[in-house]
Structure formats: C-alpha cells, structure tokens
C-alpha cells in the first residue's frame, strides 16, 4: 500500500487505517517543527522568545563577533590620577593607562582585578611562554600556593625572608606561607619520588601561577604588587657542566621570547639575593620608571646591576676600554644557577652510569608574567594611548560602522559583513576582530577610544565605502599610518598579522 510517496507493507487493516489518520497530521506539523528548529539554533532557549535587540546596536549574526557594547571593559578614558581619592596613587604611565582602559581595577593595596581584556592578553603571553619553555624540553606542572613552613625552615629561608613572606596558621596550629617562589617545594617533590636515573636528566619543570610577596609599599600598578603572576622553572642536571648548558638554553629561550614581543631587553649580571646560587642574571627592560640601576658598556656587551659592582667603578671590567653608562631598568626576568643548595638539603639525587647516587645540580628561572605585560605598556605606549606588543593585543582589529542616523547609515550592514568575513577568510583573525556597535556615538569619538585602547588595526567604514568599489579607512596603530584600501587590499594587509 502507498500513502503519499511512502510505501508501507500491508500488515493489518487496523495499521493501515491508523497511518491514514496520522500521516496528514505529520505533514501539517512539519513546517512548524522546522521553523522551531531554526529558532532554537539561532541562540534562543527552547520555550522562550528571543532576546530583544537593543535599538542602538547592530543585529548580531549567527557567527559570533565580539561587540564593544557587550564587552566587560569599564573604560574611563580620562585622567584617573586627577580624579583619584588618594593623591599620588598613580605613579606610572602603565598603571594609569591600564585602569583607564578597563584592563585592571584596584582591589586591596598591591592587588588588582584582571578584567577580560587583560586576561586575553595574559593568556596570549602565557601561550608564548609555553611555546618557548616546551621548545627546550620544559614540562608544565602546578604546585600549591600554600607552602609548609617546615620546608622553608629546612632551607633556612623561613627566617631569612623576613616580613616578605605572607605567613598563616591553620586551625591545628600548623604554619604555612603563601609561596613567593617554589625551590623548596619542587625539590621535595622530586626527592619524594625516589632516586632518578641519569637517563631521566636534564629535567625542566615549570609552572605559571600566582605568587605572593608582602611588599611594604606596593606601587606602580602591576609593576610592583603583592599578588602577581610568575613563570618559575626549576631544572635538574647530572653535572655542573650540564647545568650551565641548561642555564644558557633557558637564557636563549628568554631572548627569543622578548624578541618576539619586540622588547629591547638587557641581560645583566645580577646578585643572587636570598634565593642563592653561584651565577645569576636579570633580564631588564630599560625604562625611566625602573627601580634598578644598571651599568652598560657601549663598546662590548657587558652590563650589570650596580649591586654587583664595586662602589664608584666606572671602567668596563670586560673590555677595559670604555666608561660604563648608567641607566634604569624594570626587571622582567631572573635566572639562577643554584648548584646543590637545595638538592643537597632535600636529598634530590640520581643514579649515575656507575649506579652510584649523586646529588642533582639545579637552576631556577623566573619571568614576571604580569610585570611583562605592564612593562611593555609602560615603554611602548604614548601618554594618552596604549601601544601593545602586536602578539599581546587583546583584539587585533576593530571595525567602526557609521553613526546611526547619518547619511551613511545604510553601510552598517557592510561593516558587519566585513567583520565576519575577516574572521572567516583569515583563520589567524578568528576571535581577533571586534565590532564597535555603539552606533549612537560619532565615528570620531569611537575612533579616539579605539586609538586609546590600542587596537593594532582600526577599520572605519566611512564615505569611501559608499563608492562603487568600496574602500575602507585603515589606521595602523604601530606605525601611525592611515590607508584607504578596498576589500582585497585590506585582506592582503591583515593576512600578514601574526597571532598566538
């Protein structure tokens, strides 16, 4: 028997009658089912009407493009230092710009909320660090921030660190600290797993976590806080020679990282401080706001923190031909060759090729992750506008549609389509294009905001976009150059943008 275009086997007269009755009902309901399915996939919750679209914003299409009006970035693009209730609180450019732009917001002294745009930048920086650390054999782990006082007493740093440690007791009276660094913890971890084989070394373990230090006078935003993000790597080697080789390998990875960020870092001779060790270097970003005094030779590559030099020394100890020039820097990285300072205390050993137990040679290597972010803004930005290292910008492109009610109002759809096509045609820019849908505001005001927030590329859909062959105004923040490009030219320009 055939019902409609569908053939059914003849089984019983009752079944035939039932199908005759049901099939027309199914056909009548089918359009409604399909329509409901489309609505469900458009983002509406089943059984609920779609959310109303704001009258002054562009209708959101199916492919998600971040809209400026929806970003949680409470910008205050004015001089927050003058409006502060605590005069003198804004002590540097990066702190002011980051608070104005809605990147950070102060909480307790030396502690900040990291808002979504800042988190995007931090995540990009973390990905870069992961690439470089894992490129030299690093393995990522995560250690507790709460560290036992017993470990720190065994290394004799519980008293040595003094008031810098955040100390606390639990309900049972056991003492802990919030870890500013993890030499004790990682060495104890290694020791607790028994004796290693020399074939397992070198071992490079690192983490990227929050650290804590009770700064007496936290200042300069993320440059000197009480709670901050740090990458700390700990290495274990079979010999002093092998440890020095690993040391140089990590230093080279640091140099590559800062080169990718476009930051002119100085590697300077440094004091080991309370961490200890035989050799130490700091990675300094020259800046007037820097708290470290550096001596640099303009003839050879020698550079040092003044703490490591004899008082009043002005001649270069390496080439002995030039006078050392003094400058200031922001410390963004620090490396230490520790020897057996910690591995001996915690009995971190390995069996050598003769099956004899030997104490491992250690190194530790830090990067101030949140400090790098702030320091880059400090040295690269103008007084009234953020300039990012290209790879760290929260978004790479901002598209500005015309103002609502203007003569170019009908080009709003073109701006929306452009924002979508950039992400679809250029895979590197997926998730990197934001649409400033605040079309009740003038293009000039939004352009000024975009420049202050530091989008590397701003694309304005203006008068020339109404021509027979639409052209878009493109502002490159890094160079200050303004171009008028058709769609193909724009795509060619942005195809070269590097992202991470």
pLDDT at 104: 96
pLDDT in tens, 381-393: 999 999 999 999 9
pLDDT in tens, 109-146: 999 999 999 999 999 999 999 999 999 999 999 999 99
Mean pLDDT of 349-369: 97
Quick one: DSSP state of residue 500? -
Phi and psi for 83 in degrees, rounded to 5? -95, -5
pLDDT at 36: 37
pLDDT in tens, 94-114: 999 999 999 999 999 999 999
pLDDT in tens, 391-430: 999 999 999 999 999 999 999 999 999 999 999 999 999 9
**Average pLDDT of the residues of the chain:** 88
Tell me the pLDDT band of 184, cut-offs 50, 70 and 90. Answer: very high
| Cα separation, 338 vs 346, whole angstroms | 14
- Which is higher by pLDDT, 253 or 38? 253
pLDDT at 13: 52
| Cα separation, 205 vs 233, whole angstroms | 6
pLDDT at 63: 59
Inform me whether the pLDDT recorded for 89 exceeds 90. no
The closest of 215, 210, 159, 207 to 183, measured between CA atoms, is 207
**Which is it for strands 397-400 and 433-435: parallel, antiparallel or unpaired?**
parallel
- Which is higher by pLDDT, 130 or 53? 130
Angle among Cα 348, 187, 370 to the nearest 5 degrees reads 155
Report CA 143 to chain centroid distance, whole Å. Answer: 20
């Amino acid at each position: 028997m055939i019902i409609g275009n569908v053939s059914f086997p003849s089984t019983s007269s009752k079944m035939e009658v039932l199908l005759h009755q049901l099939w027309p009902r199914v056909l009548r309901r089918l359009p409604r089912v399909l329509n409901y399915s489309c609505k469900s996939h458009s983002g509406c919750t089943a059984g609920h009407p779609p959310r109303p679209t704001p009258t002054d914003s562009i209708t959101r299409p199916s492919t998600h493009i971040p809209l400026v009006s929806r970003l949680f970035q409470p910008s205050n693009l004015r001089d927050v230092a003058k409006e502060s209730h605590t005069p003198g609180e804004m002590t540097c450019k990066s702190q002011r710009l980051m608070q104005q732009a809605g990147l950070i917001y102060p909480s307790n002294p030396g502690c900040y909320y990291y808002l979504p745009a800042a988190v995007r930048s931090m995540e990009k920086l973390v990905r870069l660090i992961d690439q470089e650390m894992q490129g030299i054999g690093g393995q990522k782990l995560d250690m507790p921030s709460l560290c036992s006082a017993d470990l720190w007493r065994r290394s004799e740093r519980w008293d040595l660190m003094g008031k810098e440690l955040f100390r606390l007791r639990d309900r049972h009276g056991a003492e802990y600290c919030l870890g500013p660094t993890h030499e004790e913890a990682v060495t104890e971890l290694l020791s607790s797993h028994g004796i290693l084989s020399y074939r397992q070394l070198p071992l490079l373990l690192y983490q990227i976590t929050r650290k804590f230090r009770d700064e007496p006078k936290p200042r300069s935003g993320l440059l000197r806080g009480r709670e901050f993000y740090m990458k700390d790597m700990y290495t274990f080697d079979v010999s002093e020679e092998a440890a020095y080789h690993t040391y140089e390998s990590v230093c080279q990875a640091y140099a590559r990282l800062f080169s990718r960020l476009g930051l002119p870092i100085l590697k300077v001779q440094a004091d080991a401080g309370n961490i200890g060790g035989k050799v130490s270097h700091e990675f300094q970003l020259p800046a007037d706001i820097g708290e470290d005094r550096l001596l640099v030779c303009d003839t050879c590559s020698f550079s040092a923190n003044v703490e490591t030099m004899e008082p009043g020394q002005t001649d270069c100890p390496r080439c002995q031909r030039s006078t050392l020039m003094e400058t200031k820097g922001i410390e963004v990285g620090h490396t230490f060759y520790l020897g057996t300072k910690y591995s001996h205390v915690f009995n971190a050993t390995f069996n050598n090729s003769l099956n004899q137990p030997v104490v491992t040679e250690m190194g530790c290597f830090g990067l101030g992750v949140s400090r790098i972010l702030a320091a880059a803004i400090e040295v690269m930005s103008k007084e009234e506008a953020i300039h990012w290292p290209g790879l760290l910008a929260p978004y790479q492109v901002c598209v500005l549609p015309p103002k609502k009610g203007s003569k170019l109002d009908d080009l709003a759809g073109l701006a929306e389509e452009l924002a979508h096509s950039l992400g679809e045609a250029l895979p590197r820019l997926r998730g990197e294009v934001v649409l400033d849908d605040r079309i009740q505001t003038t293009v000039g005001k939004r352009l000024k905001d975009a420049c202050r927030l530091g989008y590397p590329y701003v694309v304005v859909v203006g008068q020339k976009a109404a021509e027979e062959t639409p052209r878009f105004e493109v502002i490159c923040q890094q160079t200050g150059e303004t171009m008028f490009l058709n769609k193909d030219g724009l795509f060619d320009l942005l195809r070269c943008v590097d992202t991470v």
